[in-house]
Amino acid sequence: MNKHTAELHSHGVSIWLDNITRKMLDDGTIGRFIHEMNVTGLTSNPTIFDHAIASSDYYDQAINAHLNCKMSDEDLFFELAIEDIQRAADLFLPVYQRTNGLDGFVSIEISPLLAYDTENTIQAARDVFSKVNRPNVFIKIPGTPQGLPAIEKTIAEGIPVNITLLFSAAQYKAAANACLKGIESRIEKGLNPNVRSVASVFVSRWDKAVSGKVPQHLQNQLGIAVMRHVYQEYQDFLSSERVGRILNCGVLPQRLLWASTGTKDPKASDILYVKSLIAPFTINTIPDNTLLAYADHGETGSMADITLEKADLLLKEFKEAGIDYDALGERLQSEGSDAFVKSWEHLIESIKTKRA
């Protein structure tokens, strides 16, 4: 077992892989990550599948088998993706069982075209969850204003949810409350309320958005400062009376997941967002190149090293440099949704071209 990833795990951080390809499943890469690097879960998104399917010929044989069928290009994508997700979920099933269903999840996202469509998001979540047919799968739903009621309803129906495209403390709080309402609805109806959820808050895109627009000493500081406030909101959520009441009904509360933790700036540490966001009962979903870097030269810091006072001073400096934190958080969520749509459209067009 790798000593650096083992130490990270000992601090209470679950390490999830932010990538999946059929090749990684076939050649045993994901299995090795589980057994050698303490990886206990996996996430996917439209961009990841776009790179996996459109940028290689590894799926061509499976696509060619459907040249003459009437299945739509989107349905064919989900057939390919669900097969990969099922295989990954089976690999992580021992982790899921060992941790009593806390860990060992894999995530699959519904069509990003539905990010602002509440009713169709709910139906898509039902369909994909039913087709995957694994206990340790998360359905990824964006935490957009239209996504929040869909998240509440999906949780209320007993479907585990990975709430994605969160950026700020305010967005995290809204997503956590949507999940909580879904759990409370199940309690009121006398249903088993122990439905798993994670809230995925994106880190590195904050720093990428202000790169070159702030003084040098503020470069690569915004994401971590924002996450310090998110983490405080998370601690307040876990210690609240509402969460205490659902805990008394046998519920494991929603966990906080650090997403987009690959360093974008080549001049910065390649493990910046791993070593700086170490806190118990959190998840860090890590791209494979960042995971390998951490396994090679990992360091362990602590969220406690970044006080709220220090985070506030940093955010004040960003404001003085012309960065509107609240407006940027909303913009990042909108741009993140648009980026996934762009990847989705490229992916579906690539499948269409391959079939032709």
pLDDT tens per residue across span 43-52? 999 999 999 9
Mean pLDDT over 318-327 rounds to 95
Total of domains in the chain: 1
- 121-139 pLDDT, tens digit per residue, is 999 999 999 999 999 999 9
Of 22, 37, 11, 7, which is closest to residue 291 (Cα–Cα)?
Answer: 37
In this predicted structure, the answer to whether residue 70 has a pLDDT above a threshold of 90 is no
What are the beta bridge partners of residue 16? 41, 285
- Using pLDDT thresholds of 50, 70 and 90, give the confidence band for residue 349: very high
pLDDT of residue 303: 78
In this predicted structure, the answer to whether residue 323 has a pLDDT above a threshold of 90 is yes
pLDDT of residue 65: 85
pLDDT of residue 66: 80
Tell me how far apart the alpha carbons of residues 183 and 195 are, in angstroms, rounded to a whole number.
7
* From 131, 140, 153, 267, the catalytic residue: 140
In this predicted structure, the answer to whether residue 273 has a pLDDT above a threshold of 90 is yes
Instruction: Please give the DSSP secondary-structure letter assigned to residue 113.
Output: G
Instruction: Please give the DSSP secondary-structure letter assigned to residue 139.
Output: E
Mean pLDDT over 314-329 rounds to 96
Of 61, 23, 113, which is closest to residue 347 (Cα–Cα)?
Answer: 113
- Using pLDDT thresholds of 50, 70 and 90, give the confidence band for residue 172: very high
Tell me how far apart the alpha carbons of residues 276 and 152 are, in angstroms, rounded to a whole number.
31
pLDDT of residue 305: 79
In this predicted structure, the answer to whether residue 301 has a pLDDT above a threshold of 80 is no
Q: Which domain holds residue 285?
A: 3-355
In this predicted structure, the answer to whether residue 356 has a pLDDT above a threshold of 90 is no
- 83-124 pLDDT, tens digit per residue, is 999 999 999 999 999 999 999 999 999 999 999 999 999 999
Mean pLDDT of the chain: 96
- Among 62-71, 105-114, 146-155, 332-341, the minimum mean pLDDT is found in 62-71
Mean pLDDT over 142-151 rounds to 96
In this predicted structure, the answer to whether residue 300 has a pLDDT above a threshold of 90 is no
List the end-to-end C-alpha distance of the chain, in Å, as a whole number: 46
In this predicted structure, the answer to whether residue 68 has a pLDDT above a threshold of 80 is no
Mean pLDDT over 341-353 rounds to 94
Report the Cα 229 to chain-centroid distance in Å. 18
pLDDT of residue 130: 98
In this predicted structure, the answer to whether residue 140 has a pLDDT above a threshold of 80 is yes
Mean pLDDT over 148-162 rounds to 98
Dihedral, 257, 258, 260, 263 alpha carbons, nearest 10: -160
- Using pLDDT thresholds of 50, 70 and 90, give the confidence band for residue 319: very high
Of 26, 32, 161, 28, which is closest to residue 107 (Cα–Cα)?
Answer: 161
pLDDT of residue 259: 98
140 is catalytic: yes
CATH of the domain at 190: 3.20.20.70
In this predicted structure, the answer to whether residue 289 has a pLDDT above a threshold of 80 is yes
Spatial CB neighbours of 28, under 8 Å, sequence gap ≥ 6: none
Continuous segment of H or E residues that includes residue 326: helix 325-355
Residue 103, both tokens: 């860990």
User: What Cα–Cα distance (Å) separates residue 16 from each residue in 32, 288, 290, 349?
Assistant: 13, 10, 11, 29
What is the three-class DSSP state of 232? helix
